[in-house]
Structure 1
Amino acid sequence: MTQYLAESSSITPDMIDGFFVGWPNPPSAGTLIKVMDSSAIDRCCDADVLPYYEKLGFITGESACIRNPQALTAI
């Protein structure tokens, strides 16, 4: 079950084990935790499940994105 935590201080490196499977150049668990301090959670989903995420404090929005995983190597 997915659990959403509001503070990165609640996250331990062992909780991240397996997150980066298949990444060509994965950052360390410690680096991911640092990134979380200045990041956000964007959850894309179908409209019929929005009420579930709204109960968790998410807001509804539209988005488009470009991801740059190489940016993690600069941290």
Structure 2
Amino acid sequence: MLYQNSIEGIEPEMLVGFFDGWPTPPSPETHLKLLKNSSTVVLAIDKDTDRVVGFITAVSDGVLSAYIPFLEVLPEYKNRGIGKELVHRMMAELAEIYMIDLCCDDDLVPYYKRFGMIKANGMLLRNYEKQSGI
């Protein structure tokens, strides 16, 4: 597995299969735009297929705060330590930041606790009609 902190060399066709279960997922082109506009990105690339198989993103002010909106690994690549490696690499990238926040479903709380994160309350607003990014 190859890990990289940039989208250099990444094309939309390398981003197929993400956002599993979303009723209106972003297209690979929109996914690439999402990665490009993130403050920090770490990608997991299968060297044999030249395909992105996992990614994590952060948006940050670069001073005190960062938010991790996405961590995703393709279903056929799960349970191989890829997500764990992506989180470790992102935390290293954000090591100088005071607060690193993310929102997750209750069933993922134990997963993120393993990285030293604590459960907190949060509020959200979802505009599902905009889910595809278009």
Q: What range describes the TM-score normalised by the shorter chain of this pair?
A: 0.5 to 0.7
- Native 8 Å contact 2:19 2:25 kept in 1: yes
CA distance in 2, matches of 1:72, 1:15: 21
> Which one of the candidate residues 100, 119, 127 is aligned to 1:62?
100
Alignment partner, residue 28 of structure 1: 27
CA distance in 2, matches of 1:74, 1:27: 6
The residue type paired with residue 26 of structure 1 is P
Greater helix content: 1
Deviates more, 1:31-40 or 1:60-69: 60-69
Q: TM-score, normalised by structure 2?
A: 0.35
Identity of aligned residues (%): 27
Bigger relative contact order (CA 8 A; separation at least 6):
1
Residue 58 to residue 34, structure 1, CA distance change in 2 (3 Å): same
Alignment partner, residue 17 of structure 1: 16
Aligned ranges 1:31-46 → 2 under 5 Å: 31-40=30-39, 41=57, 42=68
Alignment partner, residue 5 of structure 1: 5
RMSD over aligned Cα atoms: 3.3
Q: TM-score, normalised by structure 1?
A: 0.53
Q: Give the total of aligned pairs.
A: 66
